[in-house]
Amino acid sequence: MAEIIRAEGLAKAYGAVQAVRGIDFAVEQGSLFSFLGVNGAGKSTTINILCSILKKDAGRVTVGGYDLDAQPGKIKPLLGIVFQNTVLDDLLTVQDNLTVRASFYGLHGRAWAARLAYLSSLLGLEDILRRPFGKLSGGQRRRADIARALVHSPSVLVLDEPTTGLDPKTRRTVWEIVHGLQREEGMTVFLTTHYMEEADGSDKVVIIDGGQIAACGTPVQLKNEHSRNYLRLYGDGAAIAAELRAHGYAAEAEGGACVVVTPSADEARAILARHPQLCRDFEFVKGNMDDVFLAVTGKRLEGGAA
């Protein structure tokens, strides 16, 4: 698959604070790419550089084959951005808001009317087009924000923490829309998030910590490399753990149960087969992105379990 975004040695400092410290990454066309990190890790800075909002201090960025320094004008139409905080105007209707933004891309008249009709049906905006943006619910506002990002049919949809502050139901709706765009429209999605389950659904995850890339790969690769599967055995945790340790397993009592770290499902199955009396009630737990994140950064993500 072709690369649509490539960054090499990207660096940016705010005074003495080094926000991004020479990072490299590549985004494949049509993929869902996640930038995972805590607040202040450098996610938004990176996005702002890609989108020509901030000037980088060093490094090279190409988007769609164009160099960011030489041809920012060619790159801007390729990117559609959903900002962390909305950039639409509360007092104007959704349609007025979108029409103003469409003019930035030379869209007007019949071409814009057709595009607006398409976006309305795609994002379910028909009922809210004529309502003031400020009067909409959180989910409706987010859909309008996504419509703003899509006015000019960009190749890459950039989302900067799109679901932060939304309730779980709205978050799911937004997520379905984004997934739909990627699957059905073949759109590349570049996402920053601090939600594990969002990163888990991506094609590629880059974990950024302190302005540096801590880990990079598909969620499966990351989980295989940085997390451990374990078997949780219910019952008298301490007694079960003591017995398993006697058999040479790395078992520990945890919260009234016994946890045995098992590198693979095969090993877990072997324990279950060999010690059925200890494994009357059990659970096999696969390592998740939370574990990966903890393993590579030593930090826990807020809201990761939400």
Applying CB under 8 A, the residues found at the interface with other proteins are 48, 51-53, 55, 69, 73, 76-77, 79, 81, 83, 85, 87, 89, 91-92, 96, 99-101, 103-108, 111, 152-153
Nearer to other proteins, 92 or 122 (CB): 92
Nearer to other proteins, 99 or 212 (CB): 99
* Nearest distance, CB of residue 39 and other proteins, angstroms: 16
Residue 206 φ/ψ, nearest 5 degrees: -115, 125
Nearer to other proteins, 91 or 239 (CB): 91
* Nearest distance, CB of residue 304 and other proteins, angstroms: 26
CB 200 within 8 A of CB 289: yes
Nearer to other proteins, 81 or 251 (CB): 81
Nearer to other proteins, 23 or 278 (CB): 23
* Nearest distance, CB of residue 301 and other proteins, angstroms: 24
Residue 155's identity, in one-letter code, is S
> Cα angle at 128 between 130 and 175, to 5 degrees?
145
Nearer to other proteins, 132 or 217 (CB): 132
Which residues have CB under 8 Å from 133's CB, separation 6+?
86, 88, 89, 90, 91, 92, 93, 94, 97, 141, 144
Sheet-wide strand order for 58-63: 17-28, 3-14, 58-63, 66-67
Which residues have CB under 8 Å from 119's CB, separation 6+?
98, 125, 147, 150, 151
The whole-angstrom distance between residue 81's C-alpha and the CA centroid of its chain comes to 14
- In eight-state DSSP terms, residue 93 is B
Beta strands 251-254 and 281-285 are: unpaired
* Nearest distance, CB of residue 260 and other proteins, angstroms: 50
The whole-angstrom distance between residue 294's C-alpha and the CA centroid of its chain comes to 17
Residue 211's identity, in one-letter code, is G
* Nearest distance, CB of residue 6 and other proteins, angstroms: 16
* Nearest distance, CB of residue 85 and other proteins, angstroms: 6
Nearer to other proteins, 111 or 113 (CB): 111
**For residue 117, what are the CA distances in angstroms to 95, 111, 113, 114, 151?**
10, 10, 6, 5, 11
* Nearest distance, CB of residue 181 and other proteins, angstroms: 17
